[in-house]
Amino acid sequence: MSCLFCKIISKEIPAKTVYEDDTVMAFEDLNPQAPVHILIIPKKHIATSLDISDEDNELIGLLYQAANRIARDKKVADKGFRTVMNCNREAGQTVFHIHLHLLAGRAMQWPPG
Ligand code: 5GP
Ligand code: ZN
């Protein structure tokens, strides 16, 4: 398995983990775009959001639950934060293992670039 995020899950590649349970892992983005920039990933390899199947419905909810927990822990929940999942190249997806970006700690622009 050559997937970068699967290697982070297996600890083959180090990451600054902020949350982990049986199904989900969250770690700091290597190239942060905001004071808080965390990636939340399922331990199951799913390449893009287009590959989410019925059996993953609960898992996707758990990604958001983890994001909420981290946002509260980092004290950014009330001020506001953004969760983003890019799908395929034109949206900016570069790692083909789904991940929710949690961005916070500065005012966000809308529409996003
Ligand atoms: P995407 O562009 O696919 O939506 O997001 C991929 C994210 O993974 C980028 O924000 C990038 O900075 C981050 N990233 C790429 N390689 C690594 C790595 O080895 N470790 C960590 N922690 N983040 C990475
Ligand atoms: Zn993977």
Q: What is the pLDDT of residues 48-75, one digit of tens each?
A: 999 999 999 999 999 999 999 999 999 9
Of 37, 97, 99, 101, which is the active-site residue? 99
CATH of 4-104 given 3.40.50.300, 1.20.1260.10, 1.10.443.10, 3.30.428.10 = 3.30.428.10
Q: What is the pLDDT of residue 92?
A: 96
- Which ligand lies nearest the alpha carbon of 87? 1
pLDDT for the residue 23: 98
Tell me, what's the pLDDT at 113? 85
Q: Is the peptide bond before 111 cis (omega within 30 degrees of 0)?
A: yes
What residue ranges of the chain have pLDDT lower than 70?
A: none
Give pTM, 2 decimals: 0.98
First to last CA, the chain: 32
What local confidence, expressed as pLDDT, does residue 70 receive? 98
Active site residue 99: yes
For atom 18 of ligand 1, which residue has the closest CA?
A: 30
Ligand 1 atom at minimum distance from 4 CA: 19
List the one residue out of 72, 89, 90 whose CA is nearest residue 81: 72
